[in-house]
Structure 1
């Protein structure tokens, strides 16, 4: 039996390791206390019975005297036994109450949180038992929930702000169209402006839904073998007139085709947003460079500009929905382009990061896994 407690190499068996790991648990502590109290009471009872009854009977005590001794034993031992049972129950209740006090605290915290106190947390005692681990998990869950609620509140406020502006403009245009006599050309122009505002609203709503769908893992990917060099070249041709208009040099640096399995349309939107963002914040006479490399199992695309760079305080937030830095508030945009790019890259199993270059510009780095030959 003892040999079964150890492995052939002399190490303790698995269940002994588990028992040792549970030494800080509430169940272990309660078991030790209850077992100790019960064993003490039982030993006291056996000892009393041995010394008073059995020990006395071995010295020639008569049956009548032994009967009286038993009566006295029951009379005098009954009260201490009752006290011992009551005391063990009180100690057991105290220990259970103390051990499970964290559950009561957690219940009170849950009630407070349900009443709106999202900053409420359960104290962690540091005993590293089940209650402590439950409290840590509970606090982490509440923190995550609080962050989601704050993010939803911020997103709602941003959506309301972005919807109010175009709706106000459309209402103003409609009022102008109804006020007084207007020519057919003026009415057509007003209708065209209203359609543009409607398209902007639809784009905002659709982009928000696309991001939410991707983050929830519900976006469908139509993966196909795609040459990133060809894809970027098509986008470069699309953005070339805009770059030339502002005298910005738009160039691509690549040595050979780089193939990855991806959803072509989603990747087009990703790199279109990155190029649009780079051109938007690059001054006239600047340069935007797209570097495409193949690093074995991954393909990397770097979009680098010679603009003013990203403030260090803004770097951790540029992929958040509707985030607009101080420098970008005067630039047209919804603040969703980089959020959409990150969401689409992540569902492909890739990464996207941002950094400033030593020369003062910024670069966005996209890494996509799963290169195919």
Structure 2
């Protein structure tokens, strides 16, 4: 993991420095200078996103966010993420659907749960082919007489082979050759950390075709936050 982190941070930093050095050269065409600066800005944004993701993972793994737990309405959370990503799905000609149930609440950190759900939705849209479908859902079921709450993101993209699913949760893991879309390989590792923070179960399953990812909250819903 340490080697992967060093590689994923060193590579864009090296590109950034090289482009700035070229941009500072004499007699360079102004349009070329602008192109180099735009590419440098893009690399810088990618680095910031990587650092932010690593910080969020570290906070989740350290349990820092437990102090700010509250009752989170999963239906409202899923609706918010649906509204956020609907324009992007339309732009990519992907059908984004919502299957929502009202009145499902869990104790948790809303910001971290929203980030996890956003990561799953972003991945689903990113890897689903044009004309495909992505579904966001919040539901409450019963397992062995216990109430179970779950949020699910499913798609009909390339999916993840069963033998690769555990590895996909590790930091900086990129699956090839099916997935060539740019990214930092931290999306699912953050989701995994958020799941552990909330004592939730993270399930990756076939969607036939595609992938179905669920956060399953096994604690009884309507539970008051710690310290309440």
TM-score interval for Structure 1 and Structure 2 normalised by the shorter chain? 0.7 to 0.9
Structure 1: distance between partners of 2:70 and 2:63: 19
User: Paired residue for 2:187?
Assistant: 337
Given the alignment of the two structures, is residue 270 of structure 1 paired with residue 120 of structure 2, yes or no?
no
| Structure 1 equivalent of residue 13 of structure 2 | 167
Residue 179 (structure 1) aligned to one of 20, 25, 31: 25
Deviations 1:35-65 (A, max 9, x none): xxxxxxxxxxxxxxxxxxxxxxxxxxxxxxx
The equivalent of 1:19 in structure 2 is: none
CA deviation after TM superposition for structure 1 residue 220, in Å: 4.3
State the aligned residue count: 218
Structure 2 residue 224 is the aligned partner of structure 1 residue 371 = no
Structure 1 unaligned spans of 5+: 1-154
Which runs of structure 2 are paired with 1:79-98 in the superposition (5 Å)? none
* Paired position in structure 1 for 2:226: none
Could you give the per-residue CA deviations for residues 120-143 of structure 1, whole angstroms, max 9, x where no partner exists?
xxxxxxxxxxxxxxxxxxxxxxxx
- Name the residue aligned to 1:244: 90
Unaligned stretches of 5+ residues in structure 2: 224-228
Q: What corresponds to 1:226 in structure 2?
A: 72
Distance 1:179 1:323, change over 3 A: same
Q: Deviations over 1:58-103 (max 9, x none)?
A: xxxxxxxxxxxxxxxxxxxxxxxxxxxxxxxxxxxxxxxxxxxxxx
Match among 354, 358, 372 for residue 204 of structure 2: 354
| Bigger mean CA deviation after superposition, 293-302 or 230-239 | 293-302
Residue 119 of structure 1: aligned partner: none
Corresponding residue of 1:140: none
Structure 1 residue 211: deviation in Å?
Answer: 1.8
- Is the alpha carbon distance of 1:339 and 1:328 closer, same or farther for their aligned partners in structure 2, counting shifts above 3 Å? farther
Q: 8 Å contact 1:306–1:361 — kept in the other structure?
A: yes
Conservation of the 8 A alpha-carbon contact between 2:205 and 2:211: yes
Q: Contact between 1:303 and 1:363, CA under 8 Å: does it hold in 2?
A: yes
- Find the residue that maps to 1:320 and give its secondary structure: coil
Give the root-mean-square deviation of aligned CA atoms.
2.3
Structure number with greater CO (CA < 8 Å, separation at least 6) is 2
1:239: Cα distance to partner? Answer: 1.1
Which stretch shifts more, 181-190 or 346-355?
181-190
**In 1, Cα distance between the equivalents of 2:209 and 2:216?**
23
Work out the CA distance in 2 between the residues paired with 1:165 and 1:356.
34
Query: How far is the alpha carbon of 1:312 from its aligned partner?
Result: 2.6
Change (3 A) 1:329 1:161: farther
Instruction: Give the strand-richer structure, 1 or 2.
Output: 2
Query: Residues 213, 256 of structure 1: CA spacing in aligned structure 2 closer, same or farther, 3 A cutoff?
Result: closer
Please identify the structure whose Cα radius of gyration is greater. 1
State how far apart, in whole Å, the 2-side matches of 1:193 and 1:370 are.
49
Q: 1:312 aligns with which of 146, 153, 162?
A: 162
Alpha-carbon distance between aligned partners in 2 of 1:208 and 1:255, rounded to the nearest angstrom: 32
